[in-house]
Amino acid sequence: MTWSDASARDVLRRMFDAAVASADPMHVVAKHLPNPPKGRCIVVGAGKASAAMAAALDTAWSGVELTGLVVTRYGHAVPAGRIEIIEASHPVPDSMSVEAATRILAKLRDLGPDDLVIALISGGGSSLLVSPAAGMTLADKKAVNKCLLTSGATISEMNTVRKQLSGIKGGRLAESAYPAKVVTLVISDVPGDDPSEIASGLTVANHTTVDDAREIVARYRLDLPQAAVTLLAEGGSAAGAVPVNSDVRLIASPSMALYAAAEVALAHNLQPLILGDALQGEAKEAGTLFAGIAQSAKDKGLPIKGPAVILSGGETSVSLPAGSSGRGGRNTEFLLSLAIGLNGTKSVWAIAGDTDGIDGVEDAAGAIVTPDTLARLREAGVTPRQALAEHDSYTAFKAIGDLVVTGPTLTNVNDIRAILIG
């Protein structure tokens, strides 16, 4: 097959869409549900996919008596029958994040051993469900989140700090439900799929310590509010004692999404190479690295010969300097760096996007790179290296019409990157 710009774009988008579809709650929730309980069934949850997960559960258990409340990001709510949906702010919490935590914890009071709590957890829950630890306020939590988001810290490092400053994370939600059984259905958006990291481990024991959190604060020189500094100095927030009758079930993950993308590649006679589902690091540095891999594959058949697609997942990061006004997310920054590294290399195309449909805080999931991306950027009056230095990748790709806009997908298995080598 001779690859044209149109055919390459079409297949890349098919791969991305297949990855997202593999994590559709309507397809994955029902087969992971436990047996209905003898007692009450309470459904709680938090995350960008939680409303869609709740809708799927309500449909699957139409004959089971249940009630519940989940919180999702503004714009991600869908009707979920008997399960109430409320919305809160992401990536920085707001008053609704606190209200959601207060109301959910209230629902878990006075449960018995015959009762069942189903927790629907997905990425984004850290800011959507907030219960400030003793001595902290919502304003403090907002300041902590803003500081972490611009620090360049990995999602695991961010969550290590968050758990020590929370009254609900790090297993405390499950602790509140004791002695009821807790079954957690998880859609993973973190490298490695560690359930204790997804939404800061609301129902999973915390294996990190306050010393870990202090080290991260020192290493990244985080300027935390005084209440957070004091709490960490005094020992942090005590970890939740997760009950032994707590069961965590991974129902969708980045690796599953990559396999779905690989199936599309094979159907189009492309040899897929999955480099990993847990890649991290600075987005612009990853772009440079992948440009080198793509050029080696095209020119020398390394690490893969013939028409191929290089797939990867995970979550890169972007370190923003104080006062940065550029628009962009980690996926568009990765792609702009990739395009600069490829420097017009022929027969190489790429897509990268966040499977929740939102790259950073923008309205695009990501973007597409083509062999003539740099030339078209310059024609549009964009200086690629300057845009990268100013972290203005969204604006750059918008100028040439190559943003990938899906709207909220109502799921989240982190980033999917695909480089097609024709």
Q: Tokens 């480099």 map to which residue?
A: 275
What DSSP element (H or E) covers 294? Answer: helix 283-300
Residue 88 sits in the same domain as residue 44: yes
pLDDT tens digit sequence for 285-329: 999 999 999 999 998 888 787 899 999 999 999 988 888 889 999
Residue 261 sits in the same domain as residue 400: yes
Q: Which two tokens stand for residue 332?
A: 């568009």
Q: What one-letter code names the amino acid at 35?
A: N
Q: Which two tokens stand for residue 365?
A: 């999931």
Task: Count how many domains the chain has.
Answer: 2
Residue 196 sits in the same domain as residue 259: no
Residue 396 sits in the same domain as residue 342: yes
DSSP 37: P
Q: Tokens 């991306």 map to which residue?
A: 373
Domain boundary among 234, 252, 270: 252
CATH of residue 368: 3.40.1480.10
Q: Is 213 helix (H, G, I), strand (E, B) or coil?
A: helix
Work out the widest C-alpha separation in the chain, in whole angstroms: 67
Q: How far apart are alpha carbons 164 and 94 in whole angstroms?
A: 19
Query: Across the beta sheet with 366-369, what order do the strands follow?
Result: 271-274, 308-314, 415-421, 348-354, 366-369, 403-404
Residue 104 sits in the same domain as residue 163: yes
- Under 8 Å between Cβ of 166 and 158: no
Residue 120 sits in the same domain as residue 268: no
Q: 161 CB contacts (<8 Å, ≥6 apart)?
A: 144, 148, 153, 213, 216, 217, 222
Region 172-178: mean pLDDT is 93
- Under 8 Å between Cβ of 148 and 161: yes
Q: How far apart are alpha carbons 386 and 383 in whole angstroms?
A: 5
| pLDDT surpasses 70 at 241 | no
Confidence bin at 61 (pLDDT 50/70/90): very high
Considering the chain, what is the average pLDDT of its residues? 95
Residue 166 sits in the same domain as residue 281: no
**Parent domain of 397:** 5-21+255-421
CATH of residue 241: 3.40.50.10180
Residue 237 sits in the same domain as residue 265: no
| pLDDT surpasses 90 at 41 | yes
Region 135-148: mean pLDDT is 95
Region 165-171: mean pLDDT is 94
Residue 153 sits in the same domain as residue 298: no
Domain boundary among 225, 252, 279: 252
Q: Is 47 helix (H, G, I), strand (E, B) or coil?
A: coil
Q: What percent of the chain has pLDDT over 90?
A: 89
Region 30-41: mean pLDDT is 97
Region 3-11: mean pLDDT is 96
pTM over cut 0.85: yes
| pLDDT surpasses 70 at 239 | no
Residue 153 sits in the same domain as residue 95: yes
CA dihedral sign, ordered 127, 133, 139, 141: negative
Residue 392 sits in the same domain as residue 413: yes
pLDDT tens digit sequence for 99-130: 999 999 999 999 999 999 999 999 999 999 99
Q: Is 119 helix (H, G, I), strand (E, B) or coil?
A: strand
DSSP letters spanning 325-379: -----HHHHHHHHHHHHHTT-TTEEEEEEETTS-STTSS-SEEEE-TTHHHHHHH
Domain boundary among 235, 252, 269: 252
Residue 112 sits in the same domain as residue 17: no
- Under 8 Å between Cβ of 355 and 20: yes
